[in-house]
Amino acid sequence: NAGVTQTPKFQVLKTGQSMTLQCAQDMNHEYMSWYRQDPGMGLRLIHYSVGAGITDQGEVPNGYNVSRSTTEDFPLRLLSAAPSQTSVYFCASSSGAPNTGELFFGEGSRLTVL
Amino acid sequence: GENVEQHPSTLSVQEGDSAVIKCTYSDSASNYFPWYKQELGKRPQLIIDIRSNVGEKKDQRIAVTLNKTAKHFSLHITETQPEDSAVYFCAASRPGRRALTFGSGTRLQVQP
């Protein structure tokens, strides 16, 4: 099992560019989520999904879109990158709701917006 | 919504000493409290969790305590080792809420 796989690991963008962070899991988890990690602010939830075709907003959704067409994949799209989106992004999945057990994280994607 | 506060933000101890990290939460309905460890440049990983029907849980050198009345929970690491150096995050969630709320993290440094 590869677990949760994120690509790319590093990305540099210019302000206004768009891009997609990819996330895939091979554990047949229904729940998937995206967090961003900024110094001194912990992990903040961007968007989450409880199953294919179902997504919802988290704490900091502005500037990001998601979709969930399959159980395995949960891409995060930045529509028009801004310097405030410079961060480390983590995808995470779990077999049930977050209050039922472990969240499995990907290795992270470090994004710099110039 | 839920708010989780974590203290201290940094903690330095000598190898062999104990370390304690504290978190408070705001939603009295929260019933699940995990702790994640993130080594430098790595992904967060679950190290221990506790549910609201339990007051304390231990796993070798780590333990978590929960005080529901005061709405706070703590991570205790005994006999610290250099490999315990990492950032530790507490989190909280409640039934029906489809998200974990994380604290801001504690950077623990264990000096050899």
At A22-46, the pLDDT tens digits run: 999 999 999 999 999 998 888 999 9
Which residues on A lie below 8 Å from B44 (Cβ)? 43, 90, 103, 105
pLDDT at A2: 83
Contact call for A106 and B95, based on CB within 8 A:
no
Q: B64 pLDDT exceeds 90?
A: yes
pLDDT at A45: 95
Contact call for B43 and A105, based on CB within 8 A:
yes
What's the CA gap between A94 and B100, in Å, rounded?
11
- Rounded mean pLDDT, B56-76: 96
Cβ contact A64:A55 at 8 Å: no
How close is the nearest chain A Cα to the Cα of B48, in Å? 9
Which residues on A lie below 8 Å from B45 (Cβ)? 105
How does residue A91 score in pLDDT terms, banded at 50, 70 and 90? very high
What's the CA gap between B107 and B88, in Å, rounded?
6
How close is the nearest chain B Cα to the Cα of A59, in Å? 9
pLDDT at A1: 72
Which residues on B lie below 8 Å from A97 (Cβ)? 93, 97-98
In the sheet where B72-77 sits, what is the strand order? B4-7, B19-25, B72-77, B62-67, B56-59
pLDDT at A98: 81
Both tokens of residue A102?
């472990």
How does residue A99 score in pLDDT terms, banded at 50, 70 and 90? confident
Out of B32, B34, B43, the one facing A108 most closely (by C-beta) is: B43
For residue B59, list its beta bridge partners.
B62
- Rounded mean pLDDT, B33-41: 96
